[in-house]
Amino acid sequence: MSVKNQIKALPTNTDVLQIISTQPKQSQIQNGENTETTIPTFGVEDGTKASYSAVIKTGKGDISLTLFGKDAPKTVKNFIDKAKSGYYKDLTFHRVEDWVLQGGDPKGDGTGGGTMQTELNDLPFIEGSLGVARRDDINVSNDSQFFVTKSEASHLNGKYTNFGVVTKGMDVVKDMVIGDKILGIEIEDK
């Protein structure tokens, strides 16, 4: 059997979105009838809503994202708070490699930003995954630097916070170079 035939298909961005955005159902009996209702989600205040949309504005185009509030609630809340405050405006992408695009550092060199607790989850790092940079200690992540994978990056699985996925604009991600600016990040509550 060839190596090509042994490789299992990786999930696509659409597959991950379908898994993540499926909200649990709850059966209820009302007036003798069995009905299904969606279990309520919560707002940005506690970061546990199933998903949010974000758009990274750049000079080369927009990068649309879905943020996974249930899988990384503190990280999503932090990202939303920083985006809404204008924190990312005019910061640059300081790291561009064949497999990753990284930005959000106030110093612009990969050493800036504060810290927060890492929120590990089971989401795979596929093309377009949104993750958080971190320190050497797996439990300590950066509070402002984020990255987008340009290809599957399974070596990050279970080691970095995965908190979203690109839904549109991978061509923009792949066109970025070191020093390209983030013009701003817009948040839309889904």
For 53-83, b/e burial (b = at least 16 CB within 10 A) is ebbbbbeeeebbbbbbbbbbbbbbbbbbebb
Residue 20 counted as domain residue:
no
- Expressed in angstroms, the distance from the first to the final Cα of the chain is 45
How far, in whole angstroms, is CA 19 from its chain's centroid? 15
Query: Cα separation of 20 and 87, whole Å?
Result: 27
Residue 4 counted as domain residue:
no
- What is the 8-class DSSP label of residue 4? H
Residue 37 counted as domain residue:
no
Residue 8 counted as domain residue:
no
Residue 36 counted as domain residue:
no
Residue type, 57: K
The pLDDT of residue 5 is: 37
What CATH number should be reported for the domain holding residue 174?
A: 2.40.100.10
Residue 80 counted as domain residue:
yes
Residue type, 9: A
Q: What is the total count of domains within the chain?
A: 1
Residue type, 138: I
Identify the domain containing residue 76 by its residue range.
42-189
Residue 154 counted as domain residue:
yes
At residue 89, φ and ψ (nearest 5 deg) are -55, 125
The pLDDT of residue 14 is: 46
β 182-189/93-96 pair status: unpaired
Query: Cα separation of 7 and 179, whole Å?
Result: 36
pTM: 0.76
Residue ranges of the chain with pLDDT lower than 50? 1-12, 14-45, 47
